[in-house]
Amino acid sequence: MASLSKFGRTALVSAALLLTVATGACSRPATQSTADSAGSGPLRIAVGIDASYAPFFVAEQEGMFDAAGLDVELVQFGRGGEAVDALSTGQVQIAGSSDTTTIAQLRQNPSLRAMYAYEASGDYIKVVLRNGVDSPAAIKKMGIVPGLSQISTDKYLAANSIAPGSVEMISATPTDMPALLSRGDIDGFVLWEPWPATALDQGTGHVVAVTGDYGWFYHHWAITTAPWLSANEETARTVAKVLDEATRKVESDPGVAASATKAAVNVSEDQTIAAVDEIDFAVVNLEAADVESAQSIVDFYKSIGVLSEQPDLESAMLLNWYKDGAQ
Higher per-residue pLDDT: 19 or 162: 162
For the four alpha carbons of 191, 197, 199 and 200, in that order, the dihedral sign comes to positive
H/E stretch holding 51: none
pLDDT at 147: 83
Do 290 and 117 contact (CB within 8 A), yes or no? yes
Would you say residue 97 has pLDDT above 70?
yes
H/E stretch holding 221: strand 218-225
Residues of the chain with CATH 3.40.190.10: 28-120+218-325, 125-214
Q: Which positions ≥6 away from 19 have C-beta within 8 Å?
A: 29, 30, 31, 49, 76, 77, 78, 79, 82
Would you say residue 30 has pLDDT above 90?
no
Mean pLDDT (whole number) for 202-216:
96
Mean pLDDT (whole number) for 112-141:
96
Mean pLDDT (whole number) for 182-188:
97
CATH class of 125-214: alpha beta
pLDDT at 40: 66
Tell which phi-psi region holds residue 222, choosing left (phi > 0), alpha (psi between -120 and 50) or beta: beta
> pTM score, two decimals?
0.83
Query: Distance of CA 162 to CAs 11, 157, 210, Å?
Result: 16, 5, 17
Output b/e per residue, 197-215; b: 16+ Cβ within 10 A: bbbeeeebbbbbbbbbbbe
Would you say residue 319 has pLDDT above 50?
yes
In 168-216, which ranges are E strands?
A: 168-171, 188-192, 205-210
CA distance 13 to 77: 14
pLDDT at 164: 75
Q: What is the CATH number of domain 28-120+218-325?
A: 3.40.190.10
**pLDDT-based confidence at 173, cuts 50/70/90?**
confident
What SS3 state is found at 74?
A: strand
**pLDDT tens digit sequence for 231-287:** 999 999 999 999 999 999 999 999 999 999 999 999 899 999 999 999 999 999 999
**pLDDT-based confidence at 39, cuts 50/70/90?**
low
Residue 94 pairs in a beta bridge with: 45
Higher per-residue pLDDT: 126 or 324: 126
pLDDT at 128: 98
What SS3 state is found at 252?
A: helix
Q: Which of 124, 180, 159 is nearest to 12 (CA)?
A: 124
**pLDDT-based confidence at 9, cuts 50/70/90?**
very low
Would you say residue 95 has pLDDT above 70?
yes
pLDDT at 175: 86
pLDDT at 36: 38
Which of 87-96, 169-178, 271-280, 318-327 comes out lowest in average pLDDT?
318-327
Q: What are the start-end ranges of the H helices in the chain?
A: 54-61, 64-67, 80-88, 99-104, 148-159, 177-183, 195-201, 226-231, 233-252, 254-265, 269-278, 288-304, 313-316, 321-325
Would you say residue 226 has pLDDT above 70?
yes
